[in-house]
Structure 1
Amino acid sequence: MSRISVRGFAVASATAVTAVGSVVGVASGSTAQNNDAEATAADATLLADMPAGQQAQVQTASLTQQADVQAIAADVSAKKDAEEAARKAAAQTAIEKKDAAEKAAKAAQEAKEREEAEAKASRSASTASFPVQSSYTVAQIQAMARQVVPSDQWTCFSNIVDHESSWNYRAVNPSSGAYGLFQALPGSKMSSVGADWQTNPGTQIKWGLNYMNERYGSPCGAWSFWQANKWY
């Protein structure tokens, strides 16, 4: 290779490197990119003095380096996008977990309030005082029951009594001997509430409500079981 061609090759190589530096400067936002571009333009004049074959080699090398720089820049951009997507996904997961925790806490609070209401109703049923009469109409018995049965449980409570005794507090099952409004078997178990369980529907109501709350959680729990099994 002649002295001129060697010098030209060196200059052209420097031109290629400078061109690559320009690309990097543009990708990174460097303030030196204008100076790099001017240097590239100046060196390009020297590149024209080189033989065509050498020019092609230098230009190929320059394009390859530029492609490498662009690939690196693309990789950096892709990495940033992936990190941003991961950050957003983590934030969304945190929000979902928070919402789930709040819903669980709310459900637990509602369950606690229901339990307290049922316990209060049970205590009210145990301590309620009803006037003693020689006989009672269905309307009177239902009015007594409404005093102690929570309003949201009334329909379920009433459905069970309707099916068990039709509100007849002296009803007796001829086969089993089950007795009263709730067809307790044996009927004598209602004596835990009062000795007048055979003649006082108020005593039976106290026992029946306590039984439903203790065994099924509520009258509606007892009614759901009754519907599935035809007994409770």
Structure 2
Amino acid sequence: MTSHSAPPRRSPHSRRIIAISLASAVAVALVTGGSYALQAANAAQDRVTATAALSASTGRQHDQLAVYDSIATVHAKDAAAVALDRANAVLAAAKDKVDATTLSDVASSLASYQVLPIDEVESLTQRTAAISTSVEAAAAEADRVAAEKAAAAAAAAEAQRLQALASANTPAGAKAVAQGLAASKYGWGDGQFSCLVQLWQRESGWSYTAHNSSGATGIPQALPGSKMASAGSDWATNAATQVAWGLGYIAASYGTPCAAWAHSEAYNYY
């Protein structure tokens, strides 16, 4: 049987070296582990700091989100009220000018903004504002076209008036005016009109610009001419106004043109 020799015994000096080595290893491990733990703690703190900075940069702290939502809702409803007021004003101004059915419909929907979801309120507000602008522009264009038509009609009426004035301001035109007015207003027929023709032919030659040395003026030779202002402010330039005044004067003073003509024949004036 083979015998085993016993392991050699370490000397006290060797045991001391081993113990020191083990202690050093444990110390190194402790130092290394502590360093890693410190790094991990620092990283966690950095993450907390970064999160806080991000929250601050957006202006929305966690406990303030409800406040910001409430403010946004108030602003949205205020904008809806403004848009609705404008739409109603545009609808009133556009009445009988343009088709504003679309604006009326969307404004009716927006009128419930107090109870609608905020997203829908914002959408309806934008649509209402855009359509209001469109209808407003269409109404303005309708006004422009209407103004042009009115101006054209006024110009045509003025041209017609001037043409009638020019026609009446001739002897033939003045006679036509006198014959019509004598019949329609005073019931004088052709016989009376014949006397009138002779009377005013002697007085003025049926010229609305006639004047004599005494200051008598116009077709009926009113003295002074300003008397004829009672028939119209245009008495100096409008033969029809002079005729109207002259017929009234004859009716009041003589009763008929033939009576006035007889007086003129006898006294050379009427």
Query: What's the TM-score, normalizing by structure 2?
Result: 0.36
Which structure: larger Rg? Answer: 2
Query: What's the TM-score, normalizing by structure 1?
Result: 0.42
